[in-house]
Structure 1
Amino acid sequence: MKSVVIVFPGSNCDRDLAVAIRDVTGTAPIMLWHGETALPDGIGLIAVPGGFSYGDYLRSGAMAARSPVMRAVADAAGRGVPVLGICNGFQVLTEAGLLPGALMRNAGLNFVCRDVALTVANNQSIFTNRYDAGETVHFPVAHHDGNYTADAATLDRLEGEGRVAFHYAEAVNGSARNIAGILNDAGNVIGMMPHPERVIESAHGNVDGRRLFEGLLEAVA
C-alpha cells in the first residue's frame, strides 16, 4: 500500500505514525511536506499525524487546515481515498471541513497524557473492521484540546448513522457523549484523539492499535 504522512511545522508524531504504517504494511510511507500542492500518484492512504502544527497558535489545527496540501487531501478524500487523522490530525480534519464538529480545550483545562479505555462503537468501517462491536481496547492519549463538541443535531446524526467509531469508556476530556473518534459520511475519513500508532508492538504495553492498521491494509488491498 502506497501511503503518505503529511508533515506540518510542529508535527511531532509523524515519525511514530510512519513507523507504524511501515511495520504493518511493509512499505515506508512518503513524508509529504505541507507546502506541496499535489499528492503522489497511486496513494492508498493519507495519514495526518499528531503534534502541535504551527505551535497550536490561533486554534489547534486551524492554520494547518489552510496549508496548500490540504486542498489535495480534500480532493482525494472526495474520491474515496482513506484519510486517517490522529490527535492534531483530527483537529486539522475538522478545521478543514472534512469532519463535522470541533475540538476544544479539555474540561478542567489540563493536558491529558495516559492510557485510556475505548469502546468500539462501529466495527464496520475500513478502519475498525478488525475489532468487535462493543469491544474494549486501550490506546494512549496526549492532548490539551481533545474535547469534541458539536450541536445536538450533529451528534444525533453521527450516532444514528453509525459514524462514531470509538467512545471513551470513561470521562477523559469532556467530549460530548464521550466521543473519541468519528467517521465522515462516506466512511473513508476518520478522526480520533487516541493514538493507535503508539500501541502496535508488545514493547508498547499492548498491541490494540495494530489491528486498526492491519484492517485498513486489508480493506485497501
Structure 2
Amino acid sequence: MTVAVVRFGGSNCDRDALRALGHLGVDADIVWHEDGLPADTSGVVLPGGFSYGDYLRAGAMAARSPVMEEVRELAGEVPVLGVCNGAQIGSESSLTPGAFTTNRSARFQCEHVHLRVETTDTPFTSAFDEGEVVELPIAHGEGRFEITDERLAALNDEDRVLFRYCDADGNVTDAANPNGSTENVAGVVGEARSTAVLMPHPERAALPDIAETSGAGTDGQGLLRAFAE
C-alpha cells in the first residue's frame, strides 16, 4: 500500500511532501494526475504549488481533473490531506466546506505562523493536545478562508476546525491572523474526518536538517506522522 502524492501541472511541493513522508518511513510515490491513483492507494496528499498557474481561481482547474473523482470516491476510506494549493483544490472539489480567497493584504505572504490545535479527534491532529500551539510556515496569495455563517456554525458544532491562527501564547486575535481568514481558521476536516485541508505547510517543518537553517522547526512531523499512522 502506498500514499499517492498527486502532481498537477504547476505543483511544486510534491517532492517536499515525498521527502518529508519518506523521512518518517512512509511508502509514498508521486502520481501524475492523468495516470490516476494506484489500486493500492492507502492515502492521498494534494500538495502545494500553483496548479495550472492559478488561472480562474486557485485550485479551480485541478479540481476538475478526473483524478479528483477518484479522490472523492476514496475520501472516508483512506486519509486525504490537501496542503496550500492542495487545500484550494480540495475546497474546489467540495471535499471540505468553505473557500480560500485572496489574502486581506492582496499580497503573497511567506512567513512562519502559530496555530492553535482545535481538535485532536482526527487522523491529522491525534499526536497533539487540544489547545497546543504549533509553528508552521505559510506561503500563499489566496489563503483567506471564507464560509457562510451557517456552515461555519456547523463546523464549530461538529468540532471540524483543525487549526486557528494564533499568537505564540495561543491567543486567537486579529493581529495573529495573517490573511483575514474567517474566525482565524487555518484548516478544516470534511464530513469524513479523514479528509482535511490546511494552508500552512507541515512538510516544510518536518526535516531536522532544514529546520536548523530555516528556523521552521519540526512541528509538521506530528501532523504527517499522525496522517501516516
Confirm or deny a common fold (TM above 0.5).
yes
Q: Is 1:209 matched with 2:220?
A: yes
DSSP 3-state at the match of 1:128: coil
- The Cα of 1:217 is off from its aligned counterpart by 2.0
Aligned residue among 190, 196, 204 for 2:202: 196
Identity score, percent: 44
DSSP 3-state at the match of 2:39: coil
Instruction: Give the conservation status (yes or no) of the 8 Å contact 2:188–2:196.
Output: yes
Instruction: Give the conservation status (yes or no) of the 8 Å contact 2:7–2:14.
Output: yes
Aligned AA for 2:190?
A: N
DSSP 3-state at the match of 1:55: helix
Q: What is the CA–CA distance in structure 2 between the aligned matches of 1:32 and 1:123, rounded to whole Å?
A: 29
Task: Give the ranges of 4+ consecutive aligned residues of structure 1 lying more than 4 Å apart after TM superposition.
Answer: none
Q: What is the CA–CA distance in structure 1 between the aligned matches of 2:62 and 2:103, rounded to whole Å?
A: 20
Count of residues paired in the alignment? 215
Q: Mapping of 1:9-20 within 5 angstroms?
A: 9-20=9-20
Q: Is 1:175 matched with 2:181?
A: yes
DSSP 3-state at the match of 2:70: helix
Q: What is the CA–CA distance in structure 1 between the aligned matches of 2:26 and 2:196, rounded to whole Å?
A: 22
DSSP 3-state at the match of 1:214: helix
Q: Is 1:30 matched with 2:45?
A: no
Q: What is the CA–CA distance in structure 1 between the aligned matches of 2:226 and 2:26, rounded to whole Å?
A: 14
Q: What is the CA–CA distance in structure 2 between the aligned matches of 1:182 and 1:66, rounded to whole Å?
A: 21
**Equivalent position of 1:47 in the other structure:** 45
- The Cα of 1:26 is off from its aligned counterpart by 4.2
Q: What is the CA–CA distance in structure 1 between the aligned matches of 2:93 and 2:222, rounded to whole Å?
A: 27
After superposition, give the CA deviation of every residue in 1:39-73 in whole Å (9 maximum; x if it has no partner): 21221110000000000011000000001111111
Q: What is the CA–CA distance in structure 1 between the aligned matches of 2:207 and 2:138, rounded to whole Å?
A: 17
Structure 2 stretches of 5 or more lacking a match? 167-175
Aligned AA for 2:32?
A: W
**Equivalent position of 1:68 in the other structure:** 66
**CA root-mean-square deviation:** 1.1
Q: What is the CA–CA distance in structure 2 between the aligned matches of 1:187 and 1:84, rounded to whole Å?
A: 11
After superposition, give the CA deviation of every residue in 1:88-109 in whole Å (9 maximum; x if it has no partner): 0000001011111111000020
DSSP 3-state at the match of 2:75: helix
Q: What is the CA–CA distance in structure 2 between the aligned matches of 1:202 and 1:8, rounded to whole Å?
A: 28
**Equivalent position of 1:7 in the other structure:** 7
Aligned AA for 1:165?
A: L
TM-score by length of 2: 0.91
TM-score by length of 1: 0.94
DSSP 3-state at the match of 2:153: helix
Q: Mapping of 1:53-132 within 5 angstroms?
A: 53-78=51-76, 80-132=77-129
Q: What is the CA–CA distance in structure 2 between the aligned matches of 1:150 and 1:26, rounded to whole Å?
A: 34
- The Cα of 1:74 is off from its aligned counterpart by 0.8
DSSP 3-state at the match of 2:34: coil
